[in-house]
Amino acid sequence: MDEELMTRLEVAVARLEALSAEPPAPAASSRSICHDAAMDTSISAFDDLVSDSLGRVLEAAGKIGGEVLDATKVMEEAFSVLKQLIVKSKRCQNPGVAGTAEFLRPLNNVIAKANSLTEGKRSEYFNHLKAVADSLTALVWIGYTGKDCGMRMPSAHLEESWQMAEFYSNKILVEYKNKEPEHINWAKSMKELYFPGLCDYVKNFYPLGPAWGIAVSTLPSSSSSTPTSSTPGAPPPPKAPIISAETVQSRPREGMSAVFEEINSGKSVTAGLRKVTDDMKTKNRVDRSGAVASAEKGGCASSFTNTKVPPKLELQMGRKWAVENHIGNKNLIIEDCDTKQSVYIYGCKDSVLQEVVAAFEIVNCNGVEVQCQVGSK
């Protein structure tokens, strides 16, 4: 019996020693978790876009070779960096305007490399190199951080950037028309890569910009992890303050609530209002027509007639005599009058004007006599 017990104990000890000798399973790092979270349908769709549309551009560039192939490989590198930035945007917070330059640094380095191909001595394939360099600015849509970042919406930025590259792409189509079909295929394939390829991709998955920090929410937070036996548990959160009905009723009401409360209280809320007597009612008023009393009209008329304006008799612009505001003047004479001149009479009353003119006009006058004689002195 003792031997059997000892044998069983030895077997158990051997198993424990074997388990302690095995290395512990590595815990999943936060980077791997974020990477798995980032591998969603948008990344798969981007891979399909690169393998299909960009693959056709590389195939056409391989037939041309030389500088065109080198520039196309730089384009391939830029799309690879764009994929990395898409994945990175899913596991980091919005960098804002201040952090956008650092976020886009890898992509800007590739764009600078493409621009360097267009510098120096003008190449035979300058239009190809320039089309690639200008098209890569469309990839900067990944740096859209909000409406205040100084950049247009991603799809609008794509369209605007491609217009610059399309200028040189159209030159290629004209230059190699009916000459070398490889260049035509390369230019058309590159346009299809951006339109509808990349443009439709952005509209479908990122119409409002990158999905900043989506994968971060999938990571288990340290506060939600189960505490070990060696560390004491966190203290419970403080209880929410209890608000009783008496506390709510003791608070003064504001706005319309106070008005309805006062009405429903049964108090005499209309005690301070004036009583409307019979003579105040519209149906009992004598002056319902709104007519103004004669005394008021007389006062207004007298104030108008008493307003005195100085009389005027002068030649204006060498062609028109102005006779204004003369009252009771029976001897108004215009001397040295020309038959080509005219007379404008305004605001005169009980006056006589003697003149030699070809035309005259009387406005707002009363009792005015004009003695007109056509001729010359």
Rounded percentage of the chain residues whose pLDDT exceeds 90: 38
Q: Tell me: pLDDT of 219 over 60.
A: no
The per-residue pLDDT for 1 is 56
Class of domain 308-372: mainly beta
28-37, 185-194, 350-359: segment of lowest average pLDDT: 28-37
Measured distance between the N- and C-terminal CA atoms of the chain, rounded to whole angstroms: 164
Rounded percentage of the chain residues whose pLDDT exceeds 70: 67
The per-residue pLDDT for 34 is 47
pTM of the shown model: 0.50
pLDDT bucket at 278, cuts 50 / 70 / 90: confident
Tell me the torsion sign for CA atoms 335, 340, 343, 344. negative
Taking only the tens place, the pLDDT of each residue in 311-363 is 888 887 777 888 888 888 888 887 777 777 788 888 888 888 776 566 777 87
The per-residue pLDDT for 256 is 61
| Start-end of CATH 2.160.20.70 domains in the chain | 308-372
Instruction: Provide mean pLDDT across the span 128-143.
Output: 95
Q: CATH homologous superfamily for 30-217?
A: Adenylate cyclase-associated CAP, N-terminal domain (1.25.40.330)
| Start-end of CATH 1.25.40.330 domains in the chain | 30-217
The per-residue pLDDT for 368 is 76
